[in-house]
Amino acid sequence: MIAEFGLAALWLAAALAALQLLCGALVLRKDEPEVAAVISEIVRPVAVVQGVLAAVSFLALLVCFGRLDLSVKLVAMNSHTMPLIFQLAATWGNHEGSMLMWVTIMALAGTLIALIERRLPERTLIATLAGQAFVALGFYGFILYSSNPFERLDPPAAEGLGLNPALQDIGLAFHPPMLYLGYVGLSVAFSFAIGALLTRQVTPDFARAMRPWVLGAWICLTLGITAGSYWAYYELGWGGWWFWDPTENASLMPWLAATALLHSVSVLAARDALRTWTIMLGVIAFSMSMVGTFLVRSGILTSVHAFAVDPKRGAFILVLLAIYIGGALTLFAVRAGTVAEGERFAITSREGALVVNNVALSALLGIVLVGTLYPLVTEAYGVKVSVGPPYFTPVSAMFFLPMLVVLAVGPLLRWRRDSLERIQGPLVLFFVVAVAALAGIWFNTSIGFLPLIGMALAAMLAVASFMPARGRSLRRLPLAVWGMMIAHFGVAVGLFGMAADSAFTVEKLVAVREGETVEVGPWRATLKTVEPVAGPNWTALEAGLAVSYDGGPGKLLSPQQREFWAPVQKTSESALLTRWNGQLYTVLGDEADDGRWQLRLWWKPFVTWIWYGGILIGLGGLLSLLGRVGTDLKRRHAQVRIARRKRTAE
C-alpha cells in the first residue's frame, strides 16, 4: 500500500501544480482587482500543499527501498541486501528515483517561496509561483507518463538485481542530492526571471529576493561538483580528477552560468544596473540544467552517471527543453524592450569588472557547450570524434587566465566610476608577487607553460583575495565581504592544486612479487601480502602495501580488487595516503602467470588543494549567504518598525 500511497500523492501534487498554474495565469489576466485578489489568495496555500504531497511521495519511495520491497519494480531493479545507507541512497541512484527527487526539491522550493517571500510585489510573486508550477508540471508529466517509480511487479522478484557497485560509495550517497539542490535552485531563478518579465518588475528589490536562491544553488553546485570530482578520482581508479567527460560538463555548464548570474544579480541589487542581462542569465542558467538533464537522461551518453537509455524518455525531455527554453527566450524577446534600462557606469568600475567577468564566464560556457555537443552532432552523421583535454584546456585557458586578473583587481574598484591610478599600489604588489612566483618556479623546475602561469596567477590571486580588508576593522567587516574573500582565495587554492598536479605528478606501472619494492617520487612501496577478505556484499583480494615517504616511518595501504555478487561486477578500490603536500595513490591490478602482481602508483603533489579550494569556495558562498540573509532580515525589521511608528503617529 505504501507504493500506491506514494503514487496517489504524486498525482495529487501534479493536479495541484496545474491548479497553481491556472490560478497564477488568471491573476495575471484578470482586470477586476477584487477577483484577482481572491484568486491570488489560493496560490500560496496550493504551493505549500503541493510541496508537502511531493515530499510524501518521495518519502514513500524511500520507505520502499528501506524495506527492500521487491514487489516494486524500481526496488527490484536497483537494490539488494546492502548496508542501509546504500539501500536508501539507491532511491536516487537510478533514473526514476532521481527524477522524483528532482521534482520534490522543486516543489519544496515553491513551498518555501510561498511561505517566506515577502519582498516581491504580489503580482510578481504570483507570477513566480505560476512559473515554478509550470516547470514542475512538465516533470510531473514526465514521471507519471514514462518514469513511474511505483510500478509494481506481479509476482514480486525473489531478489533484487542490486545497485551499480561504483555507486555504492558514501560520496555518491550525497553527491547527487547536492547537484539536484543546485539545479532546482536555478529553476527558482528561472521562475523569478519569468515572473519579473511578465510583470515588468525588474528592480533592486527583485534582485535582493532572487539573490539568496541563486547563491544557495551556486553553493550546492560548487560542493556537488567538488564531491563528484573527488569521488571519480578515488573510486574509478584512473587517478584523474577531471576528464571533460560530457556528464561532468553537464554539471559544469550550469555552474558557469550560475557564477555569472550570481555576480550580475549582485550588481542589480546594489546598483540597479544590468537588468536585462540578469534576466537573460536567469534563463540561460536553468537552460543549462535542462541541457545537462537531457544529456544524462536521454540515453545518448554511456556512463555510470547516465541512468537512462530510453529514447522515448530522451524525446520527452527534449520537448520539455524546447518548451521551457524556447518559451522563455520568446518571452524575453517580446518583453526585454519594455524593461527600463538600469543605471549607467564606467568600464573602470566594479560593475565594469563584473561585466568583464560575466563575458569571460559566458565564453567559457560556450566553449564547454560546443565541446560537449560537437561529438554528438558528428556522430549523428556517422562520424565519431573525441573532444577532450587537448581542446578544452588551452581554449578555456585563453579566457580563464585573464579572468583571474580581473578577479584580483575588481573588488578593489569603486562602484560606478573609478581609476586605476587610485589602486596603483595594490596593482604593483600583484605584479611583483606574480613575477616573483613565476621566476621562482621557472628557475627551480622545468614544467609546462600553462602550469607555470597557473601557479604564478594563483599566488597573485591568493594575495589579492584579502586586499578588500586592507585598512578596515576585521571585526566589523560584513560577512558577505568575508565570503567573497574566502571564495576568491578558494579559487587561488584550487588553481594551484590543478597546476601542481599537472606539472609534478609521477606515475609508475609495475609488476612485482611479494617482498619486492618500487619507488615513485619520494615514496618507497613494498608489496607485503595479497590476501582474500570479505565485506557485507562483496569479496576481495587485498594487498598489504608498506609505504614510506623519503625514508620516514612506514605505513600500510590496502588497495583491493573487489567482486560484487549483485550485480556481478569487479571493481578496483584504490588506497590513498594523504600528506599536506600531496597524495600517494595506489591501485592493485591483476596477477600475472609468473606470480607477479600489477601495481599502479601515482605521487600527486598538492592534488588535494583542488578539493580544499572547492570547499573554500563553497564556504565563502555560505558566509555570503548568511550575511545577505542577515542584512535582509535587519532591513525588513527596520521597515516594520518604521511602518508601526507611522501608524502610531496617525
Question: Which range has highest mean pLDDT (117-126, 238-247, 568-577, 607-616)?
Answer: 607-616
3-state secondary structure at position 515: coil
Q: What is the pLDDT of residue 101?
A: 92
Mean pLDDT computed over every residue of the chain: 88
Q: What is the pLDDT of residue 105?
A: 92
Q: What is the pLDDT of residue 174?
A: 78
Return the C-alpha cell found at 493: 587554492
Within 8 A by CB and 6+ apart from 480, the residues are 623, 624, 627, 628, 631
Tell me 474's DSSP state.
G
Spatial separation of the C-alpha atoms in residues 526 and 239, rounded to whole Å:
20
401 closest CA partner among 355, 363, 446 = 363
Least confident of 175-179, 252-256, 300-304, 505-509: 300-304
229 closest CA partner among 614, 604, 511, 527 = 614
Gyration radius of the chain's alpha carbons: 27
CB 460 within 8 A of CB 437: yes
Question: Which range has highest mean pLDDT (78-87, 269-278, 322-331, 423-432)?
Answer: 423-432
| 37-58 pLDDT tens trace | 788 788 999 999 999 999 999 9
CB 217 within 8 A of CB 184: yes
| 69-110 pLDDT tens trace | 899 999 998 888 788 888 888 898 888 898 899 899 999 999
Q: Residue 162: what are its φ and ψ, rounded to 5°?
A: 90, 165
Reported residue count of the chain is 650
Pairing of strands 582-591, 597-605: antiparallel
CB 170 within 8 A of CB 259: no
Return the C-alpha cell found at 67: 524495506
Q: What is the pLDDT of residue 304?
A: 47
Position 147 confidence tier, pLDDT thresholds 50, 70, 90: confident
Q: How distant is the alpha carbon of residue 440 from its chain centre?
A: 35
Return the C-alpha cell found at 400: 580563464
Spatial separation of the C-alpha atoms in residues 237 and 571, rounded to whole Å:
9
CB 1 within 8 A of CB 134: no
3-state secondary structure at position 340: coil
Position 536 confidence tier, pLDDT thresholds 50, 70, 90: confident
189 closest CA partner among 270, 115, 116, 259 = 259
- Taking the CA atoms of residue 401, residue 403, residue 404 and residue 410 in that order, the dihedral angle to the nearest 10 degrees is 160
Q: What is the pLDDT of residue 309?
A: 54
Share of residues in the chain with pLDDT > 70 (%):
97
Spatial separation of the C-alpha atoms in residues 514 and 526, rounded to whole Å:
8
Assess whether pLDDT exceeds 80 at residue 307.
no
| 345-389 pLDDT tens trace | 888 999 899 999 999 999 999 999 999 888 888 877 878 888 888
Which residue has cell 522515448? 312
Q: Considering the entire predicted model, what is its pTM?
A: 0.92
